[in-house]
Amino acid sequence: MKRLEGDFIEAFRAHVAPLVEAAPIDAQAFVAWFEALKANGPGQWDPLFDWLQGVATLEDIKWFLTQEAAGEAGFEDLVALTQVKIPDRAKLELARNYWDEMGRGSAKGMHGPMLSRTTASLGLTPTIDTTLWQSLCLANTMTAFATTRRYAWHSIGALGVVELTAPTRVSCVDAGLTRVGVAPEARKYFALHAHLDVEHSKAWNSEALIPLVSEDPSRARFIAEGAMMRLICGEQCFETYRAHLWTHTAPLVHAAE
């Protein structure tokens, strides 16, 4: 399974290679390139989220959240696995991020259980067997990055681009849940991340990306690949979710090319 995983990641890297050729190796220029992914990266501003905010029914949103929950790899665990033996300044930033994810020591504030409470309150029952392969692919790609040391810089890029791009999407989900009458406590996870991830992204870029690339400019390419691969996984999910939700036909289940 590890060999299959490695073959998949390496094929995916080859696929995104042309997309990251322009990524600079100067640290400040690289962060500017990285931050521009929020506006022009794959899957950004997908119409799915405006639809979830303003049109989707409660059942539509519950189906969407079931897919998302089943593909959730656990951000705090991915951060913890990624920070092993990385340079001190970046390690400290990942530690601060992890502490926030862990509710700063309060069980009620832990982000993972907060999401679990949301799924439970909405009566969602996510399972692997009913989850689209695109969602599973996203989770498996993130897990491969964080658990395989040769992809440590890829994981830094993938996690960083989540912090960069998530706030706009989760704010739409929170607004959609509000519109259909979901109680504040049940949507707390989304309301929190709509604001907190903005600050997380700024800190990640200044305290992890800049020092890492300044110390070794060759890391920029790997960080860029990880970010691009994560965005493409998200883009595939959004397109497939729309294919299901907007037509209410059977979701696409064919294998990735």
Render pLDDT for 195-217 as a digit per residue (tens, 0 to 9): 888 899 999 999 999 999 999 99
Look at residue 255 and tell me whether its pLDDT is greater than 50. no
Provide the token pair at 162: 């989540």
* Residue 256, pLDDT score: 42
Provide the token pair at 175: 């607004």
pLDDT average, residue stretch 117-123 = 92
* Residue 247, pLDDT score: 85
Render pLDDT for 227-242 as a digit per residue (tens, 0 to 9): 999 999 999 999 999 9
- Interhelix angle 219-245/27-40, rounded to 10 degrees, is 10
* Residue 248, pLDDT score: 66
CA 23/CA 25 separation, integer angstroms: 7
Render pLDDT for 169-182 as a digit per residue (tens, 0 to 9): 999 999 999 999 99
Bridge partners (DSSP) of residue 102 are 110
Of residues 107 and 248, the one with the higher pLDDT is 107
Residue 257 binned pLDDT confidence (cut-offs 50, 70, 90): very low
Tracing tokens 């681009």 back to the chain, one arrives at 161
pLDDT average, residue stretch 92-121 = 93
Pick from 95-99, 175-179, 182-186, 218-222: least confident: 182-186
Render pLDDT for 29-86 as a digit per residue (tens, 0 to 9): 999 999 999 999 999 999 999 999 999 999 999 999 999 987 777 999 999 999 999 9
Average pLDDT, the chain: 93
pLDDT average, residue stretch 116-139 = 93
Bridge partners (DSSP) of residue 110 are 102
CA 110/CA 230 separation, integer angstroms: 24
* Residue 249, pLDDT score: 46
Alpha helices in the chain (DSSP H): 2-16, 27-40, 47-54, 58-70, 75-82, 88-101, 111-121, 133-147, 152-179, 188-204, 210-215, 219-245
pTM: 0.93
pLDDT average, residue stretch 13-39 = 98
CA triple 71-77-82, angle to 5 deg: 110
CA 171/CA 191 separation, integer angstroms: 7
